[in-house]
Structure 1
Amino acid sequence: MFEEEYQNQGDRGPTSSESLTTRSRFSPIRSSVPTESTFPKRLKRMWTLFPLQDISWIVAFSFTIGSAAFVIYGFFLLLPFIDPETNFPTETPYATPASSVFGALLFLVGGYAGFLEGMNLSRREVAGTNVPDIETTEITEIRMKLDENSSQEMEPQSSTEPTRGERSGHSFPPLLGDPVFVYLPTKQQLTALHARSLLFHSAWVQFLGTIIFAFATFTSLPGILPSSNSSHLLITLLNLLPASTGGVLFIISALLQLFNAQDKLWTPKPRKADWQVGFSNLIGSLGFTLAGALPVFRSETASYVGILAEFWGSCAFLIGSVVQLYIVMGYYA
């Protein structure tokens, strides 16, 4: 398929097998329906294909690597409690803070990408429905652009062959660089297009949570805040409070994910992959919230339970992110 593409491009297309492999690795074709593949093949795609134009992939991949970094961070925090003799000289000054900062930065990337994903998903959903309180020109513009892109993508290939960047209506947002991809909503779009979308509200709440959570991560670095007993109020306000607040926002975002995946508000859908992602994120968010709130009690037991919560919360987030990445890669061959 890729070879035919390059042959049609004439001299402009790359000719080496290495170039073909690079293009297929970083710009693979996204199908409108899940591809037929075995579990091992899809797992392989998760770590060999990198569709950088797919905002859904960026969200899943960023949170997967970021969650893994926080798992390492939680493990380093647990070592002094489990076996102090395993401590190494560079653990506290370098390894522990580096893993937390790396995880926080990736959470920021994933949070912003999730905000873009939720905004573009809700925009596409409304484009196919009747919304009385939005101007007709706005809906018409969206429909015309979507129809134009669909026709451009479908013309060169048969109806049974997936096209590069093909989207499935409500399943995926447009690819980065697509003329209809929105990077910043207008006031009219916020009030008319996105106000009714649970996905959009989940996305912006999560993004806000990543910002506050990242602030707490940076203030926890050695030397940023004084560690004396008299500075406990300062540590609480600038570190523990933002950490627990970020966790609470993560909880709200995860609950909105769950509600969006359910047909009815109080009817769980545990067999649904999207629901499983939201549930794992909910458990992880609870862990992050406890990790920020428990140290306020200033006891060794509370600190130990808080560190444990940091660790299992990171593990839960990692599970949800891996499932999300697995879902996304199911649409690539």
Structure 2
Amino acid sequence: MPRNTEFASPNRPAPFAGHPHIRLVPNTVRGPLPFFNPTRARFHTVEEPRHAEPTVKGKPAVEVAVPQTTINWRARDNRKVLFTLGCAIFIACGLFAWLPLENARYNFPGDDIAVGVTSFIGATLFEVGAVLLVFEAYNENRAGCFGWALHQALSPNGKPSPSPEAGGTVARADRTKCQHHHQRIRRKREMRRRNGKSSLTDEEPEPDDDPTCLKQEWVWWPSWYDLKTHYFHEIGFMASIVLTLGATIFYITGICALPGIYDHFSLGLAQGLYWLTYLVGGVLFIVSALLYMLENQTAWWKPAPHLLGWHIGLWNLIGGVGWTLAAALGYCTSSGCDYQSQLSLIWASFAFWFGSMLTWYEALEKYPIERAGKNEAL
């Protein structure tokens, strides 16, 4: 059986495996490539939890009728990418280099130093961000979290009613049931405000943690067994590894751009070291973006424009193409090529920056839920 049609990694339970009220919908486990692990699945509720209070207090964030409630699990919900600051610095770097070529009046003393310094700082931020992304990829919450509370609301006569207009059964977002790190941080901040404290340590307890969510210790590097049986089959993990490799190679370009280094390069050394690492880094950024897009797709040939994560990968792909083009133009020695190379760096950095801003928005909520018969998450 293809690996992308079942949760087959040893010693790793399927999402929601410990939740008594959630069951996997048959034939919904899928991924875009058979060699990799599933990237999505659908679950449904089979029994409502019993609550001490029969009514929903306060205004719910989201309400839907929940007979046959369906939950989407997606692998991407476990990760974020944050390169906003590095992209902004590369935009500034491109402007420092391009504006004097566009108009001589923008040629200020110290432009060359500014280009080298901003290039190095931007490459450093990309390298740090990429390494942290790999750490996050194998420290993700592997079990999945429900993130919703089901309630049996009462009709005006005090009896349960299936009609959502009269009360009925409703589902509302319940952040206390989710163990993803962004929600854990949010809960800690809320507790800090309630307790009137200026800080909150990791040792302080969190309210109403869901015991069915898998908790794990932070690891700096997984075992070789875990890598072979699980992570090498994770599209998101491999995308992060490729991105980190690209950022590491590109970091050589950032170091070479420092003032006093590139100016002493011969043409052959510049093309064989500075521009080559620039080019290889850009190509690896393209591969990484393609893998992130595949992670959101149900098949390798089928785009997923209805998912925000797919658009994030698309904008990163545009950025990778732009950086690769900028590097390729570096092998041309005419002034027109230099002009287009620096211009490509600017619009490519804008594309990376826009993708990172979409990632901020994507990280706000992780509660996919559907009505039966619908194909899109609400």
Which of the numbers 137, 152, 164 marks the counterpart of 1:118? 137
* In 1, Cα distance between equivalents of 2:329 and 2:294: 28
In structure 2, the gaps of 5 or more residues are 1-60, 63-77, 148-171, 182-187, 189-201, 203-214, 368-378
1:223 and 2:243 are equivalent in the alignment: no
The verdict on how the C-alpha distance between 1:227 and 1:301 changes in structure 2, with shifts beyond 3 A counting, is farther
Q: CA deviation at 1:240?
A: 0.4
In the alignment, which residue of structure 1 is the partner of 2:289?
254
Alpha-carbon shift at residue 248 of structure 1 (Å): 0.6
Instruction: Find the counterpart in structure 1 of residue 372 from structure 2.
Output: none
Give aligned-pair identity as a percent: 34
Q: TM-score with structure 2 length normalisation?
A: 0.58
CA distance in 2, matches of 1:96, 1:303: 14
Shift, 1:113, TM fit? 1.4
Q: Which structure features the higher share of helix residues? A: 1
Give the whole-Å Cα distance in 1 for the aligned partners of 2:287 and 2:238: 9
Shift of 1:117: 2.2
Residues 36-51 of structure 1: matches in 2 within 5 Å?
A: none
Q: Shift in Å at residue 90 of structure 1?
A: 2.7
Cα shift readout 1:157-200 (whole Å, capped 9, x = no counterpart)? xx9642397229xxxxxx9x874333201110110011211101
Most deviating of 80-89 and 306-315: 80-89
1:71 is matched with 91
CA distance in 2, matches of 1:330, 1:289: 33
Structure 2 CA distance for aligned equivalents of residues 163 and 237 of structure 1: 54
Q: Report Cα offsets for 1:19-47 as digits up to 9, x if no partner.
A: xxxxxxxxxxxxxxxx77xxxxxxxxxxx
- Secondary structure of residue in 2 paired with 1:297: coil
What is the rounded CA distance, in whole Å, between the counterparts of 1:189 and 1:306 in structure 2? 42
CA deviation after TM superposition for structure 1 residue 226, in Å: 4.3
Name the SS for the 2:233 alignment partner.
coil
Structure 2: distance between partners of 1:161 and 1:321: 27
CA distance in 1 between counterparts of 2:87 and 2:242 reads 18
| C-alpha spacing 1:56/1:224, structure 2 compared with 1 (3 Å) | same
- Deviation of 1:329 (Å): 2.7
1:62-211 alignment runs, 5 A limit: 63-93=83-113, 95-121=114-140, 124=142, 161-163=174-176, 166-167=179-180, 179-211=216-248
Task: Choose from 283, 286, 300 the match for 2:335.
Answer: 300
The one-letter code matched in structure 1 to 2:235 is L
Which whole-Å CA distance do the structure 2 matches of 1:166 and 1:310 have between them? 39
Query: How well do the aligned residues superpose, as a CA RMSD in angstroms?
Result: 2.9
Q: Which amino acid in structure 2 is aligned with residue 202 of structure 1?
A: A
Report deviation, 1:281. Answer: 0.3
Counterpart check, 1:239 vs 2:274: yes
Look up the match of 2:151. none
Q: Which has the higher contact order (CA 8 A, sep 6+)?
A: 1
Distance 1:237 1:247 in 2: 15
Partner of 2:206: none
Distance 2:263 2:94 in 1: 22
The alpha carbon displacement at 1:257 in A equals 0.6
The letter of the residue matching 1:167 is H
Residue deviations 1:56-101 (CA, integer Å, cap 9, x gap): 56x32xx0111011011111111111111122223222x2222212
Q: TM-score, normalised by structure 1?
A: 0.65
Note if 1:213 corresponds to 2:250.
Answer: yes
Distance 1:96 1:226 in 2: 12
Partner of 1:51: none
Matched, 1:281 2:316: yes
* Number of aligned residues: 238
Q: Which residue identity lines up with residue 130 of structure 2 in the other structure?
A: G
Within the candidate set 275, 299, 312, 2:347 is matched to: 312
1:271 corresponds, among 301, 306, 319, to 306
Bigger share in strand: 2
What code does the residue aligned with 1:299 have? S
Which letter does structure 1 place at the counterpart of 2:103? D
